[in-house]
Amino acid sequence: MDRVAGGWINGFLGVLIFSGSLPATRVAVANFDPLFLTVARAAIAGMLAFCLLLAFREKRPARADLLSLAVVALGVVIGFPLLTAFALKHVTSAHSTVFIGLLPLATAIFGVLRGGERPKPVFWLFSGLGSALVAGFALMHAEAASSVGDLLMLAAIIACGLGYAEGGRLSRKLGGWQVISWALVLSLPIMLVLSFVAMPPTFPDAGSTSWIGLAYVSLFSMLIGFIFWYRGLALGGIAAVGQLQLLQPFFSLALAAVVLHEKVSVGMFGVTLAVVACVAGAKKFAR
């Protein structure tokens, strides 16, 4: 298997895992405060990452890599989880999932700025078209949504795109699972302290589904998914493999409908399918 094919396979597995993040977060914030959920998931994943690094006796990253790891931590360990957790207090996971269609464009832009990639001009046409479809759908349904929730989701997309691109670039040097592990460990001391500060005195209303949601976002969304995702970006290219994120809304919408019994309109599916159709074109002209 060549590098590009391996990159797309790893990237696709990462997207499958990430597709459960918003539904799981929606379930968790029903009983957990968004701030506590953010720091708790990062602390849990950070402790697991620390054990992995010790078990494999990984060398410490160079001092020159610490700034990049900090950017990864701020983007995907803190920024995206916190902003989406607050957003899901205002909008449903089905509605917020549509915004994930903007991630490929954000990742590609930061891939150019931080990763030095240069996709062909036609690539931006397909990537921009997919993002425009998503943004247009959100604006058309603004009256049924929340402007606060939508703005939080947009901010989350920017933070995540930067974290994805920076992590993909650094994975070429350190390795995929090493990048997310070191980013988690770097933020672990702060996350542990904040977890105890934000922890509610009791958890009387936290049902089993909320705990399952916390477990999913801690283990899969925060750690395992990134192992595949960063490896995929490193092997197949940040801008190219990043377009696989256009598939994520489709999987997430299905989960929201089946697991959470949320209403998923025909328009949501229509926009998602149209956005997915842009993947083939963007992939063809990514390099």
Q: What is the spatial distance between Cα 269 and Cα 275, in angstroms, rounded to a whole number?
A: 10
**Sign of the four-CA dihedral 155, 209, 219, 104:** negative
Structure tokens at 9: 């396979």
* Short-list 38, 133, 114, 18, CA closest to 71: 114
Contacts of residue 28, Cβ cutoff 8 Å, sequence gap at least 6: 37, 85, 210, 213, 214, 217
Q: Are the C-beta atoms of residues 41 and 81 closer than 8 Å to each other? A: yes
**Within a 13 Å sphere around the CA of 63, how many CA atoms are in the beta-carbon half?**
0
- Looking at residue 5, its pLDDT comes to 86
Residues 84-122 have pLDDT tens digits of 888 888 887 767 777 877 888 899 999 998 888 888 888
Q: How many domains are there within the chain?
A: 1
Q: Is 2 left (phi over 0), alpha (psi -120 to 50) or beta?
A: beta
Quote the domain boundaries for residue 180: 3-284
Q: Which of 43-57, 95-109, 189-203 has the lowest mean pLDDT?
A: 95-109
Instruction: Choose the most confident range, by mean pLDDT, from 1-5, 28-32, 140-144, 259-263.
Output: 28-32
* Short-list 187, 190, 177, CA closest to 230: 177
pLDDT of residue 182 exceeding 60: yes
Output the pTM of the full model: 0.87
DSSP 61: P
Residues 124-164 have pLDDT tens digits of 888 888 878 877 776 676 555 678 888 999 999 999 999 99
